[in-house]
Amino acid sequence: MRYKMEDGKIVDTTLAAQSWEEARDWNGSNYVSRNTKSQWRHQTLYLSAKGRYYLVHSNQWQGSTPSAEWLSKREAAAWLFHNDHDVPDGLHALLEEDIVE
């Protein structure tokens, strides 16, 4: 799927170098997105072929339009950590800067 970003650039999820699905947690009745806290709204993180991270927001409501936004490397690292994914070595240092001992 193709998205036009705020800066006018076009991203194509079929050309992404990598993608990660959100974590979903069981609430006793349904699986809900860890990020959106909804069973209907979802997020998927992508790494573009040029090395930029972007987040696609989608939902299951009829007539809704998915959208995408750029994420900084720090935001991408936090998203991956929050969703129980391995954080790539190049982003790991960004997470460590935010850890308070």
Cβ–Cβ under 8 Å, residues 83 and 20: yes
Model pLDDT, residue 99: 58
Give me the residue spans of the domains in the chain. Answer: 2-71
Whether 101 has a pLDDT exceeding 70, the answer reads no
User: What's the average model confidence in pLDDT over 23-42?
Assistant: 94
Q: Would you give the DSSP letter of residue 1?
A: -
**pTM of the model as a whole:** 0.89
Inform me whether the pLDDT recorded for 98 exceeds 70: no
Identify each DSSP E strand in the chain by its residue range: 2-4, 10-12, 18-21, 24-26, 31-33, 41-47, 53-59, 67-71
User: DSSP of 23-37, one letter per residue?
Assistant: PEEE-SSSEEETTTS
